Amino acid sequence: MNQTKQLKITIPEKLHVELKARLLYDNLSMIKFFSFITQEYIENNPLMNDLICDILKKRKLKSGRLIRNKNSLTKLGIKNMKKNFLTKEEIKNVYDILGESDIDEV
């Protein structure tokens, strides 16, 4: 079962109007936008990581040293994931191979 949770954010009205206009221009709903952003953040997308580090730096939410550490650890984690785990395409290929073989033959 795919359970969902609601998310409520509070932003200034002007920012809300500008966001709605940009999303309309890009043909995205707010739900899709925030779902995509959340997914990319959770999956440690390198572009999202750079954006988060940039936000932390500009807003002075973390020191430069901590931001550099976060950035290097994220890049190291991505490198290790590629090195030690199968990609989504490789997993799909395994399932395709298993689906093609007769289970009685194994």
Q: CA 82 to CA 97: how far, in whole Å?
A: 21
Number of H-type helices and E-type strands within the chain: 5, 0
Q: Does position 12 have pLDDT exceeding 90, yes or no?
A: yes
Please provide the average confidence, as pLDDT, over all residues in the chain.
Answer: 79
Q: Does position 106 have pLDDT exceeding 60, yes or no?
A: no
Helix 64-84 with 46-58: angle, nearest 10 deg: 170
Q: CA 44 to CA 82: how far, in whole Å?
A: 13
For residues 59-72, average pLDDT: 69
pLDDT band at 93 (very low <50, low <70, confident <90, very high): confident
Q: Degrees (nearest 5) of the Cα angle 91, 1, 38? A: 65
- Give the per-residue pLDDT at 74: 72
- pTM: predicted TM-score of the whole model, two decimal places: 0.56
Query: How many Cβ atoms sit within 10 Å of the Cβ of residue 16?
Result: 13
pLDDT band at 97 (very low <50, low <70, confident <90, very high): low
Q: Does position 27 have pLDDT exceeding 90, yes or no?
A: yes
For residues 42-60, average pLDDT: 79
